[in-house]
Each structure stands twice: as C-alpha cells, then as structure tokens.
Amino acid sequence: MKNYFSTLFLVIGVFVKAQTTFTENVAPIIYNKCSSCHHTGGIAPLAFINYTEVKKHAGMISMAALDPKAKFMPPWMPDTQYSHFIDERVLTDKEMESIKNWISEGMVEGNKAAEPELPSFPKGSQLGKPDLVLSMKESFLHIGNNDDEYRVFILPTNLKEGHTVSAIEIVPGNPKIAHHIILGVDTTQFAEKLDAKDEGYGYSQYSGFGFYPTYDNWSGWVPGNKTRFFPDGISNYILPNSKVLLQMHYGPSPIDAWDSTTVNIFYSKTPVERFLKGWVISPNDIKDGPFFIKANTKQTFHAQYKVVGDCSLISVTPHAHWLGKKWEVFAVHPNGDTTHLIRINDWDFNWQNFFSFQKFIKLEKGSIIYCNVMYDNTEKNYRNPNRPLKNVAWGESAKDEMFLFYFAYVDYKQGDENIEIGGSLNSFDAIYNAEKKCINIFYNLAENTDVTLKLYDDKNKLITITENKGTEKGKHGTLFNTARLNPGTYWCKLITANYTSCKKVIIP
C-alpha cells in the first residue's frame, strides 16, 4: 500500500511540476516577507517591488535569504527551533525552495494577472486615531557622515492626570535612517539636566537614557515592527506630569537626513482588569560574576530569578551590546517542568526588539528563570568594537557591555494559558459558486487594516474593485457577482496594509 501511494505521488509530481514563475510563486513570498522594509522609502537599501527589481537582485537575494551559511534576511534573531513569537520573520523551507527553483529555472515572469499587488504600507498610524500624539518639538538633523548616532529627545505629555493605555505606537519620521527606537517614561528632571548639557535638540546617549527613568523599557520599535493593542482587559499606564523619553538610534547615512518621529498613545476603551508589569534580570542576578569580560576570552554568565507570585509572561526583551553573542533563557516550574523562553544564536544589537509570545506563558510562584548569556571578546567576533582588544565591564557606551533581560507580564488569571496574544495569521481564499453565480471570498485579518479586493481577468484587465477602510481584524466574507462574466480564468486579489494575496478562479 505504502509503495502504491509513493508511486502515485511520484507520477502526479512529474505531471504537475509546472514552471516556477515570479508572479505566481515568488511575488507572494517577497511582497509579504521582504517588501515591508524593501520598498521605495522603506528602511532597507533595495526596493523589491516588482519583477524587474527582484530579478536584478536575485543573486543578492539568494545569498542573503537562501544560503544556509550566509543568510541574514529576513532579520529575525530568536531561534525558531526553541520557542515561538508573534510576527516571526522567517522564510519556510518551502518558500526558500520556491525562490531557489525560480532562479535555477531562469527567472520567468509568468502571467501578470497572477501577481499579487504590493501591500499598501501606510505611513501614519496603523491602529486608528490616537488619543495622545507626542511629536518631537523640532526636526533633528542626522549628519550624513556614515556614522551611527544615538540621541534622546524629551517629549512632554502635559497630562494633568494619568491614563490607562491600550497601545503605544511609534511612527518613525524617516524610516531611511531610523534604526531602532526605545521609549521610557519619566517624572524626574534628570533628562532635562542631560539635555541642558548637550548642545542642540536632545542629548547623545548610546544605551538607554543615561539614568534609570520611572519606566525604563516602556516600548520600542525596530524596522518591520507591528504595533498591536494589548490583550483585552490588560493595560499599560501613563503617569500624570510625565514625559516620554524617545531614544533614537539613527543608522549610518551618506547624506544629511532630517527626522521627526511621533509617538501615538491609545487610551484603554474597555474596563481594565490588570496592569502590565515589568521586571529585569540584571548583573545582580548573576551567579558566576562579577560581570567582567577579559580581553581575548569568551565568557558565559548564568543568572537566576525566582518568580514571586503566579504570573503570565507576555513578552521578553534581551539587551546586550556588541560582545553579546548567545542567549538562552528558560523557566523551570516548581514541578520540574521546563519552558523554553528564548534562544538567540547570533545576537545583533541592531535587531534588538520586544519579542511577544503567541500565548501567555504561566509561571507559578517559585518558578526559576535561568538566563545564560555568552559574550565573545575575541578577534573572531567581527562586531567587537575594541581594536586592540580590551577588558570590558558594565557601561553605557558602545564599547562597554550590558546584561539585561526585561520581561513584561501580568498577574496570573485562570484560563490565561488559552489566550492568544497575537491573534491569528492573515489568510485569503476565493471560490467560484456555480449555483449562485458568484465568487465567494473569505479572508482573515491578523490586525485591523484597510482592505482592497480586486478581480482581474486572465489578460490582467480589472473587472471589479471594492475598498473597505478600517476593517476589523478577524474573519470576513463577501462575494463578487459573476452573472455577467464570460467563462474563463480570473484572478482575485486581496491587498491590505501588510499582506497581499492572489487566487485563481475558473468560471466554467
């Protein structure tokens, strides 16, 4: 029986092995997994926005995203063999295979009508109308000297009273130079003092804010980041008379570039049951310290943190500088079970981020979080900023090191284990209904977004278009009436802010 089936599959395989084309096989991968950064005006250097551009750069794409030894795209640090997070940026084996086949088969374009359209990649808020918009007081000039620049700006909230917060969205003013962004909230005057000492708008500060503000790790952004509302009933808080500290890392630029970044704050509209809490594992928790990395050594530090009450973990944020190399963080429950939290095999300061779990992770009181971090202070670490090598200790400059593992959590509530944090994935399907003479359209949105639906004939002529602004996340269904259409092949396309898809429909 087994043999019979494998022969059958082999036969089918030979018959349906069709030409791999750009429009049908490759465009959906590139447009959904690369173009959010690689589009005109996006953060990344090349714009993978059409057949010509992708074909032109196929060699580089192959090296950057397919070569198992060299690949670094799409950028995603956590090891997906170890644990999973929402909005993971990875190519599946099947996707890599498709791109590989397309290149080896001669990079054929295919039928234009079968090509999904680029997502819309909107510039402003992706969540709707914010309740509080905090903008930089003036634009900042990042000098075009090919150097990184780290600068903190103080954004006063002018709030007389505090507010519960359901989402914090950072909109970089200039994605070409915004490399990563960290937010703090403060009620002291320390930042003002640092600002006064530094010429020009804002103050220079490589790591953090130069002091510990009231909230150190309030929110953050890296390219490709998607902001989401906190799960229902869960809220953050913004203090009265506070200011938001905006730490901008501007990437190297050959030309002068201006930035004016905005922070959008959304107040909670539903009753708040629980507040988001945070904690950080730091060198105080290291069992084999002191935190000091001798020149020409690789050193692993082992920290432990004991959970003080039942809680549900939501996200983690590891932080080190350029010597940090490997992270392994896991929790051991009181009953001896282990839960993997995050493993990073090649830490890259440039892609530090909040990593949100797909589901809450329950940690009972007495669970122990083990946080093991390896630092590489040898010549072999090509990111090592100290040449010649030197001993490295704790510090805020790029040539010093850090060991911080932030985690966000809420107090545990019965049933948390079953709550999905990120919601589901985007999906789209279009099926011809002969009886009703229509095309039934089904789609699921991972987030609230504008939706455009289009129907094309096989010659790529647009037949119908519908647009729905601000469609809620979740499942939707609609239809295209086909009573007046001739039999033939049609192509149904869905375009949202971050997702695109195209389905073939045959009207017999």
Which 8-state DSSP code applies to residue 232? T
**Of all helices (H) and strands (E), which one includes residue 6?**
helix 2-16
Alpha carbon distance 71, 114 (integer Å): 29
In the complex, the smallest distance separating the C-beta of residue 416 from ligand HEC, rounded to whole angstroms, is 30
In the complex, the smallest distance separating the C-beta of residue 74 from ligand HEC, rounded to whole angstroms, is 4
Spatial contact of 227 and 167, defined as CB atoms under 8 Å apart: yes
In the complex, the smallest distance separating the C-beta of residue 176 from ligand HEC, rounded to whole angstroms, is 10
Residue numbers at the binding site for ligand HEC (CB under 6 A): 33-34, 36-38, 43-46, 60-61, 64-65, 73-75, 89, 91, 223-224
Alpha carbon distance 508, 502 (integer Å): 19
Between 178 and 331, CB nearer to ligand HEC? 178
Between 170 and 361, CB nearer to ligand HEC? 170
Listed as own residue / partner, the contacts of 193-196 with beta carbons closer than 8 Å and 24 or more positions apart are: 194/152, 195/152, 195/154
Spatial contact of 114 and 23, defined as CB atoms under 8 Å apart: yes
Contacts of 194 (CB under 8 A, 6+ apart): 152, 203, 205, 209, 210, 211
Between 28 and 74, CB nearer to ligand HEC? 74
In the complex, the smallest distance separating the C-beta of residue 38 from ligand HEC, rounded to whole angstroms, is 6
Residue 40 Cα distances to 36, 46, 73, 139, angstroms: 10, 8, 18, 22
DSSP SS3 for 82: coil
Between 45 and 128, CB nearer to ligand HEC? 45
Between 102 and 480, CB nearer to ligand HEC? 102
In the complex, the smallest distance separating the C-beta of residue 37 from ligand HEC, rounded to whole angstroms, is 3
In the complex, the smallest distance separating the C-beta of residue 161 from ligand HEC, rounded to whole angstroms, is 37
- Sequential DSSP letters for 312-368: EEEEEEEE--SSEEEEEEEEE-TTS-EEEEEEESS--GGG---EEEEEEEEE-TT-E
Between 176 and 302, CB nearer to ligand HEC? 176
Between 282 and 352, CB nearer to ligand HEC? 352
Between 75 and 278, CB nearer to ligand HEC? 75
Spatial contact of 21 and 110, defined as CB atoms under 8 Å apart: yes
**Of all helices (H) and strands (E), which one includes residue 250?**
strand 243-250
In the complex, the smallest distance separating the C-beta of residue 235 from ligand HEC, rounded to whole angstroms, is 28
Spatial contact of 366 and 356, defined as CB atoms under 8 Å apart: no
In the complex, the smallest distance separating the C-beta of residue 32 from ligand HEC, rounded to whole angstroms, is 9
Q: Which two tokens stand for residue 490?
A: 């049609």
Contacts of 15 (CB under 8 A, 6+ apart): none
Strands 355-363, 438-445: pairing is unpaired
Between 86 and 505, CB nearer to ligand HEC? 86
Between 54 and 303, CB nearer to ligand HEC? 54
Q: How many residues does the chain have?
A: 508
In the complex, the smallest distance separating the C-beta of residue 473 from ligand HEC, rounded to whole angstroms, is 21
Q: Which two tokens stand for residue 311?
A: 């809680």
Between 166 and 356, CB nearer to ligand HEC? 356
Between 426 and 482, CB nearer to ligand HEC? 426
In the complex, the smallest distance separating the C-beta of residue 285 from ligand HEC, rounded to whole angstroms, is 31
In the complex, the smallest distance separating the C-beta of residue 378 from ligand HEC, rounded to whole angstroms, is 23
Residue 467 Cα distances to 104, 323, 432, 454, angstroms: 38, 49, 21, 9
Alpha carbon distance 152, 170 (integer Å): 14
Residue 283 backbone dihedrals phi, psi, to 5 degrees? -55, -20
In the complex, the smallest distance separating the C-beta of residue 147 from ligand HEC, rounded to whole angstroms, is 14
Partnered with residue 169 across adjacent β-strands are 264
Alpha carbon distance 110, 504 (integer Å): 14
Q: Which two tokens stand for residue 22?
A: 């750009």
In the complex, the smallest distance separating the C-beta of residue 331 from ligand HEC, rounded to whole angstroms, is 28
Between 166 and 174, CB nearer to ligand HEC? 174
Q: Which two tokens stand for residue 322?
A: 């350029």
Q: Where are the beta strands (DSSP E) in 36-139?
A: 132-135
Amino acid making up residue 430:
A
